[in-house]
Amino acid sequence: MLNLERLRTLDALARHGSVSGAAAGLHVTTSAVSQQMSKLEREVGQQLLAKNGRGVRLTDAGRLLADHAARILSQVELAQSDLEAQRGQAVGELRISAFPSAARGLFPATLAALRAGHPGLRVRSQELEPAAGVARVIRGDLDLAVVLDWYNKPLPLPEGLAKESLLDDPADVALPEGHPLADRAEVELEDFADEEWITWAEGEFCHEWLMYTLRSKGFEPRIAHRAVEHHTQLALVAAGLGICVAPRLGREPMPRGVRTVPVRHRVRRHVYAVWRADADRRPSIRAAVKALHGAAAGRG
């Protein structure tokens, strides 16, 4: 009989395209993936992997079995969801992610509420940017991801996902406290056309949003520094090295030497949770969404 965990390893290899990718998706070592594949090859009596340069590729037999593995695992997941729904309790394992400021701003209260209210539920969380979180939910590596849209730039979502809004997160402009506009009640983004900007890493969804938005205001921003973490961006602002857009979720504590000023025409992020629609009946998903709503409400 085919071993389910070895089929899961083969499925991860097919989806990720490499041993290292499969290991990261399964949260195991690369040697564990290799061992599972060797055992599966002995089990089926056929070669499933072949060397491909410095990596590996699936053989014809490997691709055939991987297709069956994906269908088998999908049915197993559906069976687990139905059993969990029939039992009516949030139990087992739940794997969730959030982009960094949501993980900092929402996860402590969310995870504490789940632990207190559902002692039979084991939650594993991690920080992931929105696009990566969505991709892992679709692949089945995660059960739920907290992601975001900007008010004028939606995050593309593939079919087969359910979603639920959590909160709207206003964003301000963060300035050094000695900046000429630091004492304004409100500002416009156009007021900073000649400033040096601090932004996210190139290619990140939030960076692409910022470039799109500032260009739509009629100017090409001068990018001085890049930092993934908002707190790093704010530290650079405090040092007088530029300005940045600072969403409110998860940004406390603010460093000394920084002032935040609201934008007259509101700049905001829409934060929401996504999960696979075929898992919608799982009590653990509903419990997580409820806990996220509680954490969001607690932030006002």
Alpha carbon 119 to chain centroid distance?
Answer: 25
Helices (H), 200-260: 205-216, 230-238
pLDDT for position 81: 65
Instruction: Give CA–CA dist 138/132, Å, rounded.
Output: 10
Q: Work out the angle at residue 186's Cα, subtended by the Cα atoms of residues 180 and 191, and round it to the nearest 5 degrees.
A: 55
pLDDT for position 140: 81
pLDDT for position 70: 82
pTM (predicted TM-score): 0.75
3-state SS assignment for residue 52: strand
Neighbours of 61 (CB within 10 A): 15
pLDDT for position 84: 65
- C-alpha closest to that of 11 among 53, 48, 52: 48
Q: Enter the CATH code of domain 168-270.
A: 3.40.190.10
Options 1.10.10.10, 3.40.50.10070, 2.60.40.10, 3.30.300.30; CATH of 4-85: 1.10.10.10
Per the CB < 8 A criterion, the answer to whether 269 and 145 are in contact is: no
**In the chain, what are the domain boundaries?**
4-85, 168-270
Instruction: Give CA–CA dist 282/91, Å, rounded.
Output: 9
| pLDDT per 10-residue tile (average), the chain, 300 residues | 82 84 80 87 86 83 86 75 67 92 96 95 94 87 94 89 95 96 96 96 92 95 94 96 96 93 94 91 92 91
Element (H, E) at 204: none
Which stretches does DSSP call E strand in the chain? 49-52, 55-58, 92-98, 121-127, 144-150, 161-176, 196-199, 222-226, 244-247, 258-276
Which residue type does 193 have? Answer: A
pLDDT for position 2: 81
pLDDT for position 209: 95
pLDDT for position 9: 87
